[in-house]
Structure 1
Amino acid sequence: MTSQLFPRPIAHRGLHDRAAGIVENSAAAFEAAIAGHFAIECDLQLSRDGVPVVFHDEVLDRLTGETGLVSDRPVAELTHIGLKDSKAGDRPQTLDAFLEQIDGRALLQIELKHQPDAEATRRLAEAAAGSLARYNGAVTVESFDPRLISLIRDFGFAGPRGIITYDYEGEDYPPGITEEQRYSMRHLLHWHETQFDFISCDKAALTLPAIVFWRALGKPITAWTIRSAVEAEAARPHIDQIVFEGFNPDRVD
């Protein structure tokens, strides 16, 4: 299990441990990942005034003492809201501030989060591409939304772009998605539009025919979210790298 694109395990939202006061997608979590020589996965949401912010959820409730949508707040407010349980007093960072912190010290896997409409989708892709154009470190981008990985290319991002996927079975898929769209995303039929460079796949979907097919053709596959050495070992035959949390893959007995 090795990858030229992802030579080291990828710390999901940084190397976080909320019980120890290191919150996901925080400056402290990213420093911990760098100290462990891991790559870093993080998430981008869009502020009301169109600034990409490093934050996973659509709403503030789980990770802060505030409520409501991230997209309803201007960036000046978002970056002054404390992250709940952060020992260091960390706050959400803008993408620019995050890139300044990392400064080329780790490979980045940046997820562009699904947006509520086409305009917000375009704004996130354009703003992210603008910030990344000014960054000199190693960086990849990814999204569940094929439109985002196509748009960020159209706005000038020339680095590796990945599609995030799973089996799209049951009810666990975005609201409003049609059966045709679900089928297309399950089988990665958007390739002619996205021309993705890698695939980030749910650990439970690694044997889907589309994943097996693209890996046979040489596309790197990362698996999420791996939470133990046992899960890492089970995924190993099917992937090139893990996206992990909750354990240290370098300290496996």
Structure 2
Amino acid sequence: MPIVIAHRGASFALPEHSRQAYEQALLDGADGLECDVRLSRDGHLVLLHDRLLDRTSAGRGPASKRTLSELRELDLLTLDELIEMARGAGRPIQLMIETKHPNRYGQAVEYRLTALLRRHGLTRPDPDDQVRVTVMSFSPLAVRRMRQLAPALPRVQLMELIPPGLKPSRLPFGARIAGPGLSLVRRRPELIRRLKACGHQVYVWTVNDLADVDLVMSLGVDGIITDRPGAVREHLLSR
């Protein structure tokens, strides 16, 4: 059975990237937690998908122009806090961290991420630590950078379209996990079979409809990234 990853927490019913959404995802039995990270003006990693604060908070403008203390007033979680939540789950948790590009600080986000993970002892698998980290990006250069900075970490190459010249036998820059969007999977289901035949793992995002869960299951995916971890997990267990 594929692992179930809570996309920005249990974000179908609760505000994305919020403490409540991640707490609910853990209660729902999610195997993993997905998050997007951006840098604050003073160099802290906060959980936020958009460049701007407008859609998901009472703030306005770019998060990159705010300090951590200013962002805390808007109830933004930090990656440090999410790691502590995952460690408090009392069971194995896969933490999937996406670095967002383009951004104001460029490659600094990967350097800061590596430093933070090193401080938590998470840059290489540890059998005594129940938290396992996987890093992801749509940017092949970011994926390459993480291979250089933390080569022991699994890396996912996210994709909305098939990159020009992509050969399923070799994802860009040594990534071993493909992360296609659901719309791409619907259009090109044979891509999943080819990636799997070449020995790659495949995590599909964002799968919320149960008919789509059945589709990706039939293709043999390894991970389902969803806003509805409880419903998806229940559906998988009922099959």
Tell me the TM-score normalised to structure 1 length: 0.78
How far does the alpha carbon of each residue in 1:66-108 deviate from its partner, in whole angstroms, 9 at most, with x for none?
A: 1101111122211221xxxxxxxxx112212221222163211
Alpha-carbon shift at residue 188 of structure 1 (Å): 5.8
Change in Cα spacing, 1:166 to 1:193, as seen in structure 2 (3 Å) is closer
Contact preservation (8 Å) 1:70, 1:78? yes
Q: Describe how 1:51-90 pairs up with structure 2 within 5 A.
A: 51-81=44-74
Provide the aligned length of Structure 1 versus Structure 2.
219
- Residue 132 of structure 1 corresponds to 117
Alpha-carbon shift at residue 245 of structure 1 (Å): 1.6
The ranges of structure 1 where at least 4 consecutive aligned residues each deviate by more than 6 angstroms after the TM superposition are: none
Q: Describe how 1:13-28 pairs up with structure 2 within 5 A.
A: 13-18=8-13, 22-28=14-20
SS of alignment partner, residue 151 of structure 1: helix
Alpha-carbon shift at residue 116 of structure 1 (Å): 3.2
Q: Describe how 1:88-237 pairs up with structure 2 within 5 A.
A: 91-103=75-87, 105=89, 106-116=93-103, 120-133=105-118, 134=120, 135=122, 136=129, 137-156=131-150, 158-167=152-161, 183-184=164-165, 187=166, 191=170, 194-206=173-185, 207=188, 211-237=192-218
Following the alignment from structure 2 to structure 1, what is the Cα–Cα distance between the partners of residues 193 and 233?
27
Question: Could you say which structure has the greater relative contact order, defined with CA pairs below 8 angstroms and 6 or more residues apart?
Answer: 2
Alpha-carbon shift at residue 210 of structure 1 (Å): 5.3
5+ unaligned residues in a row in structure 2: which ranges? 123-128
Following the alignment from structure 1 to structure 2, what is the Cα–Cα distance between the partners of residues 157 and 101?
25
The equivalent position to 1:248 in structure 2, one of 219, 224, 231, is 231
Change in Cα spacing, 1:53 to 1:157, as seen in structure 2 (3 Å) is farther
Following the alignment from structure 1 to structure 2, what is the Cα–Cα distance between the partners of residues 166 and 114?
14
Following the alignment from structure 1 to structure 2, what is the Cα–Cα distance between the partners of residues 218 and 193?
14
Following the alignment from structure 2 to structure 1, what is the Cα–Cα distance between the partners of residues 151 and 70?
28
Change in Cα spacing, 1:63 to 1:152, as seen in structure 2 (3 Å) is same
Change in Cα spacing, 1:192 to 1:231, as seen in structure 2 (3 Å) is closer
Alpha-carbon shift at residue 17 of structure 1 (Å): 4.1
Change in Cα spacing, 1:157 to 1:55, as seen in structure 2 (3 Å) is farther
